[in-house]
Amino acid sequence: MTSEPRQPPATPPGGRPPVVGIAEWRTAREALLVREKAHTREGDAIAAARRRLPRVEFDGTARVVGPDGPVPFLELFQGREELVVYKHMWYDGAPHQGQCEGCTTTAWHLRDAVHLHARGVSFAVLTTGEWPEVAAHVAFMGYRQPWYSVRDAPEPVGGDMGYLTCYLRDGDRTFLTYATTGRGNERGNGSLGLLDMTPHGRGEAWEDHPAGRPAGREACWSWRTDADGAATWGPTSRPVPQWTRPGAGPVDTLGRRHGHS
């Protein structure tokens, strides 16, 4: 007896998309591509508007503290015309595992600026931590980008942390040109963009998933894990990038006193 070919269920289990042939997949993919292209073009238009934002001049001689001691902010340009910085939140007195999870994740994705340098753009990380604590954290994490403490620096050198910020130099004159925070920082985190392409996405509750898909978790739930890689925000967890660092074992406290944002 010849059995009938097995047909996929009309409603796949677990909210998964239906199974189709390659021709039908291509048709659906091409329809989505139209929307993706429109999204790209709108992004281009927004970038064009961003390049036309007014700028704010500020004192480029404002001092920041790095491995060589206090230096003027102008030095962060490294002779280039443009500068992008990530402003890393900081918890005074906290051990490495107690520093900001989201900032740790973003900084981990921005470890190499070779392509920025090739286009005349420098990169640095700024934070409000006292330099001895910051230097120890940079060494522990193995960061290769320049870090500076802006603890006592005025805006727009210091100010609120958790921002991607752009600056422009015209000789010895310095200007603020752009800043973004929240999901605007996702441009510095390539993993989130790749997750958005996958069938399960980021696995976060706010996402729109097919009916029947298990509910996601809170935003950024995977930024901290325990020693076994299970996502948790408990006292035994660490920011995920730290588990690759020598000596980053389980802990029992985040050691946080107060934060400087």
> Which is higher by pLDDT, 45 or 254?
45
3-state secondary structure of 6: coil
Domain boundaries, the chain: 56-191
Q: Is the pLDDT of residue 10 over 60?
A: no
- pLDDT classification of 259: cutoffs 50, 70, 90: low
What is the arithmetic mean of pLDDT over 201-211?
A: 92
Q: Give residue-wise pLDDT tens across range 139-163.
A: 999 999 999 999 999 999 999 999 9
Q: Is the Cα torsion angle 59, 71, 258, 248 positive or negative in sign?
A: positive
Q: Give residue-wise pLDDT tens across range 218-252.
A: 999 999 999 999 999 888 899 999 999 998 988 88
Tokens, residue 75: 């030095």
- pLDDT classification of 16: cutoffs 50, 70, 90: confident
Contact by Cβ (8 Å): 163, 179: yes
Q: What is the pLDDT of residue 257?
A: 56
Write down the CATH superfamily of domain 56-191: Glutaredoxin (3.40.30.10)
Tokens, residue 245: 């660092």
